Amino acid sequence: MISDFPSRAAVTTCAFCAAAVMSFTPVAAAAGTEPVPPVPPRAAVPQSSYLYREGTQVRPHRAAPGLPDVSALSWLVADARTGEVLAAHDAHRRLPPASTLKTLFALTVLPTLPGDLQHTVSQEEMSDIGPGSSMVGVAEGHTYRVSDLWRGVFLNSGNDAVHVLAGLSGGWRTTAARMQAKALALGALDTHVRSPDGYDTPGQVSSAYDLAVFGRAGLRNADFARYCGTAEAQFPGRGGWSYGIRNTNRLLTGADGVQPYPGLIGVKNGYTSNAGNTLVAAAHRDGRTLVVTVMNPQEGGGFTVYEEARRLLDWGFEAAGRVEPVGSLDALRFRPRPGPHAAPVAAPRPTPVAVAPDGGPGWPAAGIISGAALLGAGAVALLLRRKGRLSARS
């Protein structure tokens, strides 16, 4: 009986060592880091997503109002606070955005340039502006504050102001690349940027969904919200004088016989011969803010885009709480995995670190495993040596 005890102890100790090694191994693996996962492709969107279906998507309750007649090729109504899409028509249809793409331009460049920065415009910055572009009157050799240029972008949709701001932000191509990266980060996967000012360019497209994402994100930036909600301003001219400019968003100003919309807070309109009339509009009423996108109405004249946006806003405020959402403006954003180690890191570290149970500093995983193995080996050797002595005594 005495001679058998060391053998059993040795086996038990070996099992304990193996269990100890195995118990530490998952901790070290869990503490390892992974590269930032890419933005999910369109195929990753659940098949049940209503917004990827063709036609009009709405899920009304019995008491919900009926949708208005809208002739636009694509449109969307969403709650700006929650991101819930209340209704949409061909939300992900890729269409030319015209100057509504300036919302993405502002989201990308606004945070990088102080408003009080002064800049003298060069000849190079004024070159390559597309023929027929909307202009605010930026003059070569004249010095402007960045805030003046932004008013030229938002109110007059000035492509000349966009060119100067893009030059200050690294250049035309660099700005386009940054805008593309910003769109992907926001989950706006339908947008392809070719010209930061929204000028008709082959391959440049966006969607009602993406433009609503940009408009909603812009309203969270105080400078963006202030500029897009400004109806009138003064723009500096030569010789120390200035002239008045007026926002071309007629739902905001009430110009040309279009009735201003009560509670409107922006955002941006656009027009090109290829894109037709486009509009991103946001309004606030009774504690709720809605954002609406309308792209290329097929009926009426040039102001139909405003009237269709008006109908959709009216419907959205009345339907809020009476429809089930058909999607979310946050649906395609990257979300980190839940848990204490959810924050993604750009690159894995060479040596993973095991987190101590009390939340304090950990040991290198390799040291934990090696230490446990050596401890077990020492215990086995000691017991075998003791067995030899007991056998000799017997």
Active-site hit among 74, 99, 147, 169: 99
CA 238 to chain centre: 39
Cα–Cα distances in angstroms (integers) from residue 296 to residues 54, 59, 155, 271, 304, in the given order: 17, 24, 21, 9, 9
Phi-psi region of 198 (alpha: psi -120 to 50; beta: other; left: phi over 0): left
- Please tell me whether residue 195 adopts helix, strand or coil conformation: coil
**Of 159, 102, 154, 97, nearest in space to 294 by CA:** 97
Distance CA 92, CA 211 (A): 10
CA distances from 342 to 31, 134, 172, 240 (A): 11, 46, 36, 55
157 is catalytic: yes
Instruction: Supply 145's token pair.
Output: 């504050």
Catalytic residue, chosen from 74, 134, 157, 206, is: 157
Pair 331, 52: CB distance under 8 Å: no
| Residue type at 142 in one-letter notation | H
Give the span between the Cα atoms of 394 and 392, in whole angstroms.
Answer: 5
Number of residues written out for the chain:
394
Please pick, among 74, 102, 169, 207, the residue that the annotation labels catalytic.
Answer: 102
Name residue 126's amino acid.
Answer: M
Q: Both tokens of residue 325?
A: 């959402």
d(CA 102, CA 247): 14
Give the C-alpha separation, 106 to 211, whole Å: 13
DSSP 356: P
SS3 164: helix
Residue type, 232: E
Q: Is 102 a catalytic residue?
A: yes
Q: How far apart are CA 10 and CA 125, in angstroms?
A: 81
Enumerate the active-site residues. 99, 102, 157
